[in-house]
Every structure is written in C-alpha cells, then in structure tokens.
C-alpha cells in the first residue's frame, strides 16, 4: 500500500522526478539526490515497507539482488574500485527516509569517505554477553 507522505513511493509511482538506473517487477533504483560519491544510487522495493525490520523476505531479497546489479554496473561502467551497500534502520542508525532502501555507494581508491567507527579490540566478556543475548530465545520486545 503506497504511503501518500512517502517520497520514495512518489518516485516509484512517477509522481516525483528521479534519475532511474534500474527497475524490475519489484524494485526501482535511482540516483541519490545528495551523492556521497559519483554514482551513489538507492534501491527500493516498489511496495512500501518502513525499514529492515518490517520488509517482507521476498521484497528484501529482490531489493538486494537489484543492489547487486547496480553495484556490478558501478564497477563496470563507472570503474568503481569497490562498493559499499548501506542500509540504515531507525533514527539511531541515521535513517531519514522511512521507505526501506539500500544505498549503493561506488568507492574509488583515495575517495574521502571514512569508516564511521574506529576499529579497536572490544572487551571479550561484553562481546560474549551480547552474543548470548542474541542467541537467547527471549520474549519479543514489545512495540
């Protein structure tokens, strides 16, 4: 069901302009309006889903397959040296548009992008405790 306030639903419907680069039955890919690097694209499911936690598995699979197609094209046609796929789920994770999307960000040797964290060895006990919680069959978190 399209969300009447969702800009990506409007792009999918052709009601807002966008530079489309790929589309199939389930997905549309278009250029990001504020590109991080040359060729930065967004891949979205045609069907509205808020985020990674809500999207249906087959829609997610189709969107990731489309992201792979766009990544391959960035590699072949833009001569990208690498690609980052990024998904932000929730405000704390920087999501700003609440229609699931995958950023396909072509990377070029020496480009200015940086990892958003500084890798450093973590506390082994804390890592193990988090792992135990992830493995546990605890009751679902209330909404």
Query: What residue ranges bind ligand 5GP (CB under 6 A)?
Result: 7, 18, 30-34, 42, 88, 94-97
Nearer to ligand 5GP among residue 42 and residue 43 (C-beta) = 42
DSSP string, 79-128: --SEEEEE---SGGGT--S-S--EEEEEE-TT-S---SS---PPPHHHHH
Who contacts 85 (Cβ-Cβ below 8 Å, separation ≥6)?
Answer: 64, 67, 71, 102, 103, 104, 105
Q: How far is the CB of 33 from ligand 5GP (least distance, A)?
A: 4
User: Of these, 73, 99, 101, 103, which contacts Zn ion (CB under 5 A)?
Assistant: 99
Find the distance separating the first CA and the last CA of the chain, reported in whole Å: 21
Site residues for Zn ion, 15-74, by CB under 5 A, read 48
100 is in the binding site of which of ligand 5GP, Zn ion, none (Cβ under 5 to 8 A by kind)? none
Partner that binds at residue 18, options ligand 5GP, Zn ion, none, CB closer than 5 to 8 Å by kind: ligand 5GP
**Residue 114 neighbours by CB under 8 Å, 6+ apart:** none
Active site residue 40: no
Binding site for Zn ion (CB under 5 A): 3, 6, 8-9, 48, 99
């Amino acid at each position: 069901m399209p969300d009447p306030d969702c800009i990506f639903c409007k792009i999918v419907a052709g009601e807002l302009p966008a530079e489309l680069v790929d589309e199939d039955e389930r997905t549309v890919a278009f250029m990001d309006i504020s590109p991080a690097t040359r060729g930065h694209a967004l891949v979205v499911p045609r069907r509205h889903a808020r985020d990674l936690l809500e999207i249906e598995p087959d829609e997610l699979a189709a969107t990731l397959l489309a992201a792979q197609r766009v990544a391959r094209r960035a590699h072949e046609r833009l001569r990208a040296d690498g690609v980052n796929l990024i998904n932000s789920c929730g405000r704390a994770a920087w999501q700003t548009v609440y229609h699931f999307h995958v950023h396909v960000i072509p990377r070029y040797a020496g480009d200015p992008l940086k990892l958003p964290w500084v890798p450093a060895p973590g506390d082994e006990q804390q890592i193990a405790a988090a792992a135990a919680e992830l493995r546990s069959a605890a009751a679902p978190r209330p909404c």
